[in-house]
Amino acid sequence: MAIDRGLLALLEAKPGKGEELAAFLEQGRALAAEENGTVTWYAFKISDTTYGIFDTFENEDGRQAHLTGAIPAALGKVGPELLAKDPDIRPVDVIAVK
């Protein structure tokens, strides 16, 4: 398995919405588990309002399938209620994996 690409998404919750955003991210794990092309999927908290998602893929098809899949669609539905601004989503190249 050669993991060589990923996605980093940073999410800024509206004031008082951090716990709701965290709960949404916890539910996202089940959706990520259903994606064949997603190798790893992490949701994390940086501060009370800053959260993120980091996921990895073996190929571009897997990354593109994720970008057009259930998690971004669900985030699009709750985003206006929970997020202070649009997510900052960045494709990344994975240099090394343990």
d(CA 1, CA 52): 25
How distant is the alpha carbon of residue 54 from its chain centre?
6
Domain coordinates in residue numbering, the chain? 5-93
Mind listing the pLDDT tens digit for each residue in 42-92? 999 999 999 999 999 999 999 999 999 999 999 999 999 999 999 999 999
d(CA 57, CA 8): 12
Q: What is the DSSP letter of 69?
A: S
Instruction: For the domain made up of 5-93, give the CATH fold.
Output: Alpha-Beta Plaits (3.30.70)
Mind listing the pLDDT tens digit for each residue in 19-31? 999 999 999 999 9
d(CA 41, CA 63): 12
The pair of structure tokens assigned to 71 is 């998690």
Predicted local distance difference test score (pLDDT) of residue 1: 73
pTM: 0.92
